[in-house]
Structure 1
Amino acid sequence: MNEAQLLIEYAKAWNNLDVSYLHDILDDDFEYNSQWVFDTMHGKWNYINYLRGKFNSILENISSIPRAEIAYFKYCYSEIDKGCIVLTQKENQCSIIIETKNGKITKANMIGIPSPEGAVRFDYKPR
């Protein structure tokens, strides 16, 4: 899969609150970072289990169901036209950018800078 296809599958996981979309697309040595947390999470299954817990918490309060939309940043750090997911939950937004290798996601970064407000959106929320 290319980066765009991987982003679509990742967005499906969020839009369906279902980690099974991630099983085949994350590299075993996957790393997850967030600009709001100082530690890097290592390992595909550590992340999947973490996200499963997050999704279960969201399902307990269905008034805060997130939506994941495919977008891109014209400029994101040193990259031009960087694909991303804009994640919106209630009034809060962040973006997820990924790194890939051999058709798998090797790294995902949840970011607030650059601002998701600056992302160009496709009005596509994969289901």
Structure 2
Amino acid sequence: MKLTKSQALADENGKLINGKWELNKKHQLIYRTSGRSKEELTITGTILDAGPGSLTAEITQKRSESRKAGRIIRLKGQWRLDPGNRMRFEIDRTQTSSDLLRFKNTWTVNRDHEV
């Protein structure tokens, strides 16, 4: 698995895997595939770091019952607030509209004005 310039995933042969980045209820990063393929691809990830214009995650693809493959990726995009004052990360996609990751939680600011 590798991340393409369009921030989609490609397999080991470079074949594009159509899909969309999402967050599940546990705030795990998911790549939900789309298209007519009958193959089901499950990719989940743990967010490792949030930087200016980027989100770094470790993604895991389940290949069989006992085997998993992992990789660290850095998604590029913008941090914004939605109308409900919730943080969201808009992943830049070159060929489709941006994928939105909306974080649903309470945010606090420390003495150094860091979230």
Q: TM-score range by the shorter chain?
A: 0.3 to 0.5
- Give me the TM-score of the superposition, normalised by structure 2: 0.33
Of structures 1 and 2, the one scoring higher in RCO (CA 8 A, sep 6+) is: 1
Bigger helix share: 1
Which of these two proteins has the greater Rg computed from alpha carbons?
Answer: 2
- Give me the TM-score of the superposition, normalised by structure 1: 0.31
Bigger strand share: 2
